[in-house]
């Protein structure tokens, strides 16, 4: 009898097992198998060394006269090695089995199925499951370690502490060599492939993501990264809904009917931990719960099936889940425009959706839907926003729609659909989102977390008045608000007739559009004259002032005849903040062309141009 093993059978030591069991025929070893094992061993992979040890055992058995070993075929060329994942080397091995009339011995189920389909004699043996007590990198873990960060040429680092109080610190003195890093990386990959406790979630040239037990491990290698880097992240705490404030009210809200919920917070704040607690509660309450994750790292019970991308798309995953009809789906994480669209599609199909979103304020999570979902549909997609800070529920917002006159306006003909965001605990209105003069604005009210100074509607009104007046005035313009629906506009002497228009027609049209009574005066009538500030209130499109110098992407705006253009190249559909030397200027949504255009003459453009003229660094910070 003749057998021809492939690489998987050699690595598992199944050939020498056959000889020990009484096999005394000929073993044909493909040179393609030898080439694969050499390549794996040169990469420092345990599987390569294990396969070479099996070949040495076969050589010893042949020397003892217990079996005949013959090396056949040719070594794969560079192209075949590069395309090994597409089956080129497996095809070489199958051809050899056919040529020598040998039984193909394999632990690879795909190889077995293809060989059977081609009419070859195949013997499939279950691959050996390897017992992995621990990974080498686990030596760096203790009860307070959330993540370990290893990189070539750098001492080991880790994030340690409690949720909300993490410290990024050195956990070793000596820099790691490339050999050590390769050993750590290969230990993770081999353990994930050979153990039932792990699997490779994603594998691309230069990047592998592994799930092993409760750890998510990312392995980056050149040329994707500038050195070998291994980052292992794990949860250090598991909570239940009872551990959070307002647990009873949240339980009632989640079970009242299927809802659309955004769980938001800064990185490391405990968003995923809270999402896990909600998922477990819903499952225990008799709801069918699934997850959509890439990569899969939520620590949930076996009753909750965790799905990842199907065919490279979460949209395909959503289509499949709609056939399963879960009561609730946990979407971790919702970041890109396509994620928000998929989230909205599933919610509109009647599935309860809970999305995890990075945001520095509760309102920012909701604003990321603006421009991605039709404004009037937002409360149907998301009716609850939960903001997590330092592992605790900081804010819960209730989201609804009313047809009303926005807060601060009084004219009945200004009634429109308004998205009202209320504090869930107190019922106090915190924000309103609506269309004002053809723009979508987010207006903070007294209950807003960034309240203070001018009210939201005053900031919106000031900016919009300036924008309208600057379209007809040629000189300097300033606005003083005298109440929710009254303002004084100061213009140059030469501009007052243009602004007012014949018989007041032009200013009347502006008043009708804005619903604000405007008194136009000249700077010569104003005590003190011009303020010299250049006018310009802040844009109320969603960001709060300030920002504490948070870093962002440095950009170089281009000033044209009609616009100030901020080129980005990507971020299309994202809501971003524009800052000058770290100071907040305005918030905008990036166009499909990957840029932001601001009309010259507007208050926003004037502030931006002043910052450019003063040599300030303009940065873009995604929300």
Q: Is the pLDDT of residue 534 over 50?
A: no
Confirm if 86 and 80 have CB atoms less than 8 A apart.
Answer: no
250, burial (CB in 10 Å: exposed 0-12, middle 13-18, buried 19+): buried
Please say whether the dihedral angle defined by the alpha carbons of residues 508, 514, 519 and 521, taken in this order, is positive or negative.
negative
Per CATH, the number for 136-233 is: 3.30.450.90
Q: What's the average model confidence in pLDDT over 99-124?
A: 93
pLDDT for the residue numbered 622: 79
Q: What's the average model confidence in pLDDT over 590-594?
A: 80
pLDDT for the residue numbered 56: 95
* Range name among 369-378, 458-467, 563-572 with the lowest pLDDT average: 458-467
Q: Which SS3 state, helix, strand or coil, does residue 425 take? A: coil
**Strands 352-358, 260-265: parallel, antiparallel or unpaired by DSSP?**
parallel
Instruction: Determine what percent of the chain is predicted with pLDDT higher than 70.
Output: 90
Which helix (H) or strand (E) is 210 found in, with range? Answer: strand 207-212
Q: Is the pLDDT of residue 565 over 60?
A: yes
Neighbouring residues of 610: CB distance < 8 A, sequence distance ≥ 6:
534
| Structure-token pair, residue 113 | 């199925």
Taking the C-alpha atoms of residue 132 and residue 134, their distance in angstroms, rounded to an integer, is 6
Contacts 24+ apart (CB under 8 A), 409-415: 409/457, 409/484, 409/485, 409/515, 409/516, 410/484, 410/485, 410/515, 411/485, 411/515, 413/515, 414/515
| Structure-token pair, residue 547 | 């920002």
What does the pLDDT look like over 296-329, one tens digit per residue?
778 888 899 999 888 889 999 999 999 988 999 9
* Range name among 64-68, 127-131, 429-433, 529-533 with the lowest pLDDT average: 529-533
**Distance from the Cα of residue 210 to its chain's centroid:** 17
Helix axes 109-117, 88-100, angle to 10 degrees: 50
Question: Is the bond into 62 cis (omega within 30 degrees of 0)?
Answer: no
**Distance from the Cα of residue 592 to its chain's centroid:** 19
Taking the C-alpha atoms of residue 268 and residue 166, their distance in angstroms, rounded to an integer, is 8
Q: Is the pLDDT of residue 79 over 70?
A: no
Q: Is the pLDDT of residue 205 over 70?
A: yes
Average pLDDT value for the chain: 84
Q: Which residue has the higher pLDDT, 528 or 310?
A: 310
Confirm if 290 and 351 have CB atoms less than 8 A apart.
Answer: no
Q: Scan for tokens 């979460």, then name that residue.
A: 314
Confirm if 186 and 46 have CB atoms less than 8 A apart.
Answer: yes
pLDDT for the residue numbered 119: 93
Q: Is the pLDDT of residue 537 over 80?
A: no
**Distance from the Cα of residue 576 to its chain's centroid:** 15
Model confidence at 550, in pLDDT bands (50, 70, 90)? very low
pLDDT for the residue numbered 548: 39
pLDDT for the residue numbered 220: 94
CA R_g for the chain: 32
Q: How far from each other are the two terminal CA atoms of the chain, in whole angstroms?
A: 68
What does the pLDDT look like over 394-419, one tens digit per residue?
999 999 999 988 876 666 667 889 99
Per CATH, the number for 241-404 is: 3.40.50.300
Task: Using alpha carbons, select from 583, 539, 321, 554 the residue that is nearest to residue 443.
Answer: 539
| Structure-token pair, residue 446 | 């007294």
pLDDT for the residue numbered 483: 64
pLDDT for the residue numbered 437: 65
What does the pLDDT look like over 448-471, one tens digit per residue?
765 444 555 566 677 778 878 877
Q: What's the average model confidence in pLDDT over 561-587?
A: 80
Give me the torsion for CA of 611, 612, 617, 623, rounded to 10°.
70
pTM across the whole model: 0.58
CA atoms within 13 A on the CB side of 444: 23
For residue 2, CA distances in Å to 58, 67, 127 come to 14, 10, 21
What does the pLDDT look like over 26-73, one tens digit per residue?
999 999 999 889 888 887 677 888 899 999 999 999 999 999 999 999
pLDDT for the residue numbered 75: 85
CATH topology of domain 456-525: GMP Synthetase; Chain A, domain 3 (3.30.300)
Superfamily of domain 2-124: 5'-nuclease (3.40.50.1010)
Taking the C-alpha atoms of residue 575 and residue 596, their distance in angstroms, rounded to an integer, is 10
Taking the C-alpha atoms of residue 126 and residue 69, their distance in angstroms, rounded to an integer, is 23
| Structure-token pair, residue 161 | 């502490």
Residues paired with 440 in a beta bridge: 435
Confirm if 380 and 347 have CB atoms less than 8 A apart.
Answer: yes
pLDDT for the residue numbered 538: 34
What does the pLDDT look like over 132-186, one tens digit per residue?
778 999 999 988 898 999 999 999 999 988 766 778 999 999 999 998 999 899 8
Task: Using alpha carbons, select from 510, 408, 512 the residue that is nearest to residue 454.
Answer: 408
């Amino acid at each position: 009898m003749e057998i021809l093993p492939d690489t998987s059978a050699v690595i598992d030591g199944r050939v020498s097992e056959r000889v020990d069991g009484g096999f005394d025929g000929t073993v044909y070893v493909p040179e393609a198998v030898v080439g694969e094992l050499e390549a794996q061993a040169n990469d420092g992979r345990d599987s390569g060394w294990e396969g070479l040890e099996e070949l040495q055992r076969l050589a010893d058995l042949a020397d003892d006269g217990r079996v005949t070993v013959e090396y056949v075929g040719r070594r794969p060329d560079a192209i075949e090695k590069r395309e090994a994942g597409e089956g080129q080397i497996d095809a070489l091995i199958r051809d050899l089995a056919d040529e020598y009339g040998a039984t193909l011995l394999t632990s690879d189920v795909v190889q077995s199925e293809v060989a059977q389909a081609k009419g070859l004699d195949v013997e499939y043996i279950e691959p050996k499951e390897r017992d992995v007590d621990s990974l080498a990198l686990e030596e760096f873990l203790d009860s307070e370690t959330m993540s370990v960060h290893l990189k070539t040429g750098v001492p080991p680092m880790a994030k340690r502490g409690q949720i909300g109080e993490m410290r990024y610190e050195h956990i070793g003195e000596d820099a790691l060599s490339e050999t050590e890093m390769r050993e750590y990386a290969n230990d993770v990959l081999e353990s994930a492939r050979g153990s039932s406790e792990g699997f490779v979630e994603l594998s691309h040239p230069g990047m592998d993501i592994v799930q092993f037990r409760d750890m998510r491990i990312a392995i980056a290698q050149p040329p994707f990264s500038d050195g070998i880097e291994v980052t292992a992240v794990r949860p250090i705490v598991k909570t239940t809904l009872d551990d959070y404030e307002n647990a009873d009210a949240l339980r009632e809200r989640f079970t009242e009917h299927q809802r659309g919920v955004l769980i938001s917070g800064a990185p490391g704040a405990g968003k995923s931990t809270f999402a896990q607690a909600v998922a477990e509660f819903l499952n225990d309450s008799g709801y069918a719960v699934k997850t959509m994750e890439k990569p899969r790292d939520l620590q949930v019970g076996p009753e909750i099936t965790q799905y990842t991308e199907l065919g490279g798309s979460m949209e395909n995953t959503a289509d499949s889940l709609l056939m399963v009809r879960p009561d609730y789906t946990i979407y971790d994480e919702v970041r890109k425009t396509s994620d928000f669209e998929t989230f909205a599609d599933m919610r509109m199909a009647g599935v309860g959706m809970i999305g995890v979103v990075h945001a520095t304020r509760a309102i920012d999570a909701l604003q990321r839907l603006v421009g991605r979902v039709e404004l009037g549909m937002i409360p149907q997609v998301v009716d609850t926003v939960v903001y997590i800070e330092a592992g605790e529920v900081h804010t819960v917002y209730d989201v609804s729609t009313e047809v009303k006159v926005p807060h601060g306006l009084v004219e009945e003909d200004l009634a429109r659909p308004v998205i009202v965001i209320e504090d869930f605990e107190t019922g106090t209105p915190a924000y309103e989102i609506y269309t004002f003069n053809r723009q979508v604005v987010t207006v903070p009210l007294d209950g807003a977390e960034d309240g203070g100074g001018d009210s939201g509607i005053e900031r919106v009104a000031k900016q919009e008045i300036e924008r309208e007046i600057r379209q007809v005035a040629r000189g300097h313009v300033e606005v003083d608000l005298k109440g929710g629906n009254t303002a004084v506009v100061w213009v140059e002497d030469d501009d007052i007739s243009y602004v007012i228009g014949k018989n007041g027609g032009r200013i009347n049209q502006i008043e009708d559009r804005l619903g604000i009574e405007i008194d136009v005066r000249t700077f010569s009538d104003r005590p003190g004259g011009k303020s010299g500030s250049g006018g310009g209130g802040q844009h109320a499109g969603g960001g709060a002032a300030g920002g504490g110098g948070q870093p962002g992407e440095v950009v170089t705006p281009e000033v044209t005849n009609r616009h100030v253009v901020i080129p980005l190249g990507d971020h299309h559909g994202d809501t971003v903040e524009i800052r000058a030397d770290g100071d907040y200027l305005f918030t905008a949504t990036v166009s499909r062309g990957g840029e932001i255009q601001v009309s010259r003459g507007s208050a926003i453009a004037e502030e931006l141009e002043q910052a450019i003229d003063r040599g300030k660094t303009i940065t873009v910070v995604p929300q």
